[in-house]
Amino acid sequence: MIEIKDLLAHFSNILQNGEGQKQLIQETIKEVTNISIESENIQIKNGTIFLNIKPIYKNEIFLKKEEIFYKLKETLGKKAPSNFR
């Protein structure tokens, strides 16, 4: 029988890798701003999210930046990115 801690550790590993974080960032941005971003347009380096999208979409995301980071921090905890570029 699989223990819950093993199952949660598996999901923790998924979130720690880049693709899990990118997917979570995509979903959070979509939820808050209703803007869809492809995962290949998102890069994460040293706690900063780099978005390769049109400036008009970036501006909308920057306007709701605090709400996005609040939701990311709830989900990822201390490993949440802290800045957009």
pLDDT exceeds cutoff 90 at 84 = no
| Predicted model pTM | 0.75
The encoded tokens of residue 41 equal: 């347009």
* 16/19 Cα distance (integer angstroms): 8
Number of domains in the chain: 1
* 35/23 Cα distance (integer angstroms): 14
User: Taking residues 31-54, what's their average pLDDT?
Assistant: 92
pLDDT score at 67: 94
Q: What is the pLDDT of residues 48-76, one digit of tens each?
A: 999 999 999 999 999 999 999 999 888 88
Specify the DSSP element, H or E, that contains 29.
Answer: helix 18-33
pLDDT score at 85: 85
Residue 55: which domain range? 4-84
Amino acid at 80: A
* 82/54 Cα distance (integer angstroms): 21
pLDDT exceeds cutoff 90 at 13 = no
What is the separation, in whole angstroms, between the first and last Cα of the chain? Answer: 45
